[in-house]
Amino acid sequence: MKAEQSRRTLAIWLFSVCALIALMVVVGGLTRLTGSGLSITEWKPIHGALPPLSQAEWMEEFDAYRQIPQYKILNKGMSLDEFKYIFWWEWGHRNLGRLIGIAFLVPFLFFLSRGQVERSLVPRLAVLFVLGGLQGFMGWYMVASGLTERVDVSQYRLVAHLGLAFVIFSAIFITALPLWRGEWPARRDPHPLFRWSHIVAALIFVQILLGGFVAGTDAGLTYNTWPLMDEAIIPPGAYAASPLWRAPFEDVTTIQFNHRMMGYIVFLAVIALVAAGWRQRLAGWPRTTGLILLAAVVQQVVIGIWTLVEVMPIHLAALHQFGAVILIAAALLHVDALRAPQAG
């Protein structure tokens, strides 16, 4: 009983970290949408936790920003007050990252010192902490791409940063689920649909990456009609860029087309998985998680279309990004329920 309680305590801690990461994803999206991501031009992991505390420090930050292409080309003439607006978004984003690191490391060391972390779980949690540190570096690597020649960050680095955030979220979430049930390692008596639930989760992850390319190239600001693009299902400009291999990553028509098509594939794959569960008479928790997944994909499709036709308003775009977190969490919840159907 004591071991079960310890595992549940660990699960609550890990779920709390997941919630912070979900918030981080949304704040990161808002930082991107407000054009704030390049407002801090240096990586100061420790000193950067403090904002400018005097007029002279504010001017120092502003002067540094005025040296980069984004200011010179897009924001020339920006006032100090306007700079402060974008600065606070980026500063908040970075400090939320620091908070997540503390929220993971301090309880981890505390639970470890009290013997509440089982030996088999320690390496996994240590790797997750290292991945969190790598994510901080990846964030700076992304920002650095926009400080010398570009007016924004590289979409490739943005997608890497976003993808790693979802990898960390997913790994923590799937670790917390069996701990919440009071078991470790997770029991395995997989349902025949267990493998297919993994495929659906993988498709959702790919769709999230494709959404990152949409965000990184502002591809959502074009073809703001649905279901057609340029009055066609397959727009004339799709895969027309040269060289062809760069089209999915740099051509806005192809990028948006791919995101739409993968959205349809994910939607149909979820319906097929849930329908298969009904045919095989899934009951109890596995059936419930299937319905949760179905509801999550429906809301994400609806919000995605709404965001597109309204030409990417910030509040809807942020809601769509949060919906991606809900969708991957729902998929992993269903994966876990199918791992050992009787354990739910």
The residues, any chain, with a CB within 8 Å of residue 296's CB and separated by 6 or more, are 323, 326, 327, 329, 330, 331
pLDDT in tens, 185-240: 888 889 999 999 999 999 999 999 999 999 999 999 999 999 999 999 999 999 98
Report the pLDDT value the prediction gives residue 1, as an integer from 0 to 100. Answer: 60
Indicate whether 177 and 194 sit together in one domain.
Answer: no
Q: pLDDT confidence of 343, banded at 50, 70, 90? A: low
> For the residues of 95-126, what is the DSSP string, one character each?
HHHHHHHHHHHHHHHHHHHTT-S-GGGHHHHH
Same domain, 162 and 256: no
Residues 69 and 176 in one domain: yes
DSSP string, 262-306: HHHHHHHHHHHHHHHHHHTT--HHHHHHHHHHHHHHHHHHHHHHH
Domain end call among 134, 169, 186: 186
Residues 182 and 301 both lie in one domain: no
- Cα distances from 162 to residues 29, 165, 208, 221, in angstroms, run 9, 5, 8, 20
Q: What is the pLDDT of residues 246-256, one digit of tens each?
A: 999 999 999 99
Helices 252-279/194-217 angle, 10° precision: 160
How many residues in total does the chain contain?
344
Domain tally, the chain: 2
- Determine the structural domain holding residue 181 and report its residue range: 1-186
9 and 72, same domain (yes or no): yes
The per-residue pLDDT for 162 is 97
Q: What is the pLDDT of residues 88-104, one digit of tens each?
A: 999 999 999 999 999 99
Residue 34 is predicted with a pLDDT of 92
